[in-house]
Chain A
Amino acid sequence: MLPFLKKKSDAAAAPLVPAWHPNFRNFEKLPDIKVVRTAFFINGAAVSAALALLIYFGMQEWQLRGLNAQIADWQRQIDQNKPGSDRAVALHKKFQAEELKITEVAAFVKSKQLVSDLILHLGQSLPSNIAFDGLDLRDTGLVLRLTVRGTSDAALGYATTYLEQLRADKQLTAFDEFSITTSTRNPATGRLAVEMFLRLRTTPKKP
């Protein structure tokens, strides 16, 4: 007989009904049949946490112990060095007071150019056809009063050349501006009277 001609079983159509017998199993008393028991994980986690904290706490205590030992070392060194250091500091203050006096003297001596050297240098570097009539050092600069030999145009040329020579002079670094302020012919001698001004630097040039 062909299958589709067979009558369907009534069992599939029957309604689902609860088991006919009561379940007497006591799950709390039955053994845990899991491969790894839950308690193992809980205990493991608790032990791990405690162990981790123990290690961390131990390391922290070790660190604190080390720091305290270093502090004690430094304190011992401080106690040992303090008297000597205090004496040195007191001596250094006296040293500074003495040094201040020397610095003051050095500053006083260096504050102005040696005038004797300046005059000597100007005299040594003076051209043969020029003579000094006077020198006048003021707060602002140096005035040179000169007499120049020669005809007017030649004398003025000598004076200009001398001015250029002064300007290029490495020993006159205290001055920053060089100029001829007046130039007049002396009718009696026929020579040219020239006045030059060398302006002092406001701040000295560093060598």
Chain B
Amino acid sequence: MTNAELLALVRKNPISIGCGVLALLLGGGVYYRGGQVPDVEAELAQKSSEGERLSSNLKNAAQLQEHFDALVSANKAIDARIVRASQFGKNLQYFYKLETETAVKLVTDPRLSPPSAKKDPKAAYVAIPVNLSVQGTMPQLLGFLRQLESGTHYCRVLTFSLAGSPDRKSPLSLSINLELLGLP
């Protein structure tokens, strides 16, 4: 088909050919732009997710500073009750003070062992094993135990042995194997 014939065909059918060309162009546009829709939707999903996350962070952090301050002050209070394994004299003094306060008698000096290895590497504190052997009446020993368990330092009794004498008038003996929460 020559150019003249083509031109004649166009002149003869201007509407159908014009619409056909327009439809072709629009089809190309739909194809090209339609491919962008999933990408734009994915970008919107990502942005909205990030936006909601940031917004949620801000919303949840409304009282975070106050809570953090409360935790810091609580940890300061805890820190004052934590035993330092290196301060051997001070730690011994703690048990002698308990002995005086509760009127029990320490049969042997308290034996503080080196801190046991941390089970969790992220753990802040270590357990410091202590062996005690005391004598006293039942109320004295109970007072001593109570002072230990709810006293200055955090303490947990692992094992104990409480025994009396046959005549029931001699003082009772209490051997305790405990752990204090401390820092190396």
Contact = CB atoms under 8 A, between A and B. Distances in A.
A85 interface: yes
A47 B157 CA distance: 92
Interface string B125-169: 101000000000010001001101110001011111111100000
A89 B78 CA distance: 25
Contact of B125 (A101, A119, A132): A101
Interface stretch (A11-19, A105-113, A155-163, A166-174): A105-113
A53 B23 contact: yes
Interface stretch (A1-9, A65-73, A176-184): A65-73
Majority secondary structure, B binding face: helix
Interface stretch (B44-52, B93-101, B105-113): B44-52
Interface residues of A, number: 61
A115 B160 contact: yes
B148 to A, nearest CB: 8
B155 to A, nearest CB: 9
B30 interface: yes
Contact of B48 (A43, A60, A74, A105): A74
B19 A84 contact: no
Given A67-B40, A78-B50, A61 B159 contact: no
A78 B51 contact: yes
Given A60-B30, A109-B156, A137-B157, A46 B16 contact: yes
Between B26, B27, B123, the greatest number of chain A beta carbons within 10 A of the residue's beta carbon is seen for B26
A134 B75 CA distance: 39
Contact of A100 (B41, B124, B142, B148): B124
Contacts, number: 180
B64 interface: yes
B51 A88 contact: no
A205 interface: no
Contacts of B18: 46
Given A71-B40, A81-B51, A104-B124, A46 B72 contact: no
B86 interface: no
Interface in B53-87: 53-55, 57-58, 60-61, 64-65, 67-68, 71-72, 74-75, 78
A8 B37 CA distance: 83
A39 B158 contact: no
Given A42-B13, A91-B65, A137-B159, A101 B40 contact: no
A88 B58 contact: yes
A115 B149 contact: yes
A114 interface: yes
A105 B30 contact: no
A82 B64 CA distance: 17
Contact of B159 (A46, A81, A82, A139): A139
A63 B34 CA distance: 10
B23 A49 contact: yes
Given A43-B15, A47-B15, A77-B55, 6 more contacts: A46-B16, A50-B22, A81-B58, A95-B67, A98-B68, A136-B159
Would you list the 5 A-B pairs with minimal beta carbon distance, nearest first?
A: A88-B61, A46-B19, A53-B26, A74-B47, A134-B163
